[in-house]
Amino acid sequence: MEQDRLKGVYFFEDKDGYQPVKEFLHSLTQKEQAKVRAYIRELKKQGNNLRRPMADYLEDGIYELRPKENRIFYYFYLRDRAILVHAIKKHVKKVPENDLRLCIKRKIEIGDCVANLERLEL
């Protein structure tokens, strides 16, 4: 069995305890949740080697997982951890600029303070 490239995948949590990606996952159907979790497991397994059609690089260190019409945005922390910062149902070809800016804002907000992030158990 091959070892995972990432040590962990974490949910972003704001100062009020809100976890947008976790909330988004709970809003999906069971079938959609299973697909997203499979993509997250593959991210943990392949790390930054994960490419299209499953994942893609956007800008400023932000990547997206691409399970069907859902998009889960993340960035890499210390090269061996991924932090899931935002999620949307994509209805247009290009990722909306305001969603991308929010991802970058959350990445900056976390900075080096990852101690209180919730780790996903896969």
> What is the residue extent of each domain of the chain?
8-114
* Averaged pLDDT for residues 13-29: 93
Give the C-alpha separation, 110 to 119, whole Å: 14
Cα dihedral sign for 15, 22, 10, 57?
negative
Give the C-alpha separation, 34 to 40, whole Å: 10
Tell me the CATH architecture of domain 8-114: 2-Layer Sandwich (3.30)
| pLDDT > 70 in the chain, percent | 93
What is the secondary structure of 30-43 as a DSSP string?
HHHHHHHHHHHHHH
User: What's the mean pLDDT when you consider all of the chain?
Assistant: 91
Residue 24: its pLDDT value, please?
98
* Averaged pLDDT for residues 6-33: 94
Identify the H or E element spanning 25.
helix 20-27
| pLDDT > 90 in the chain, percent | 75
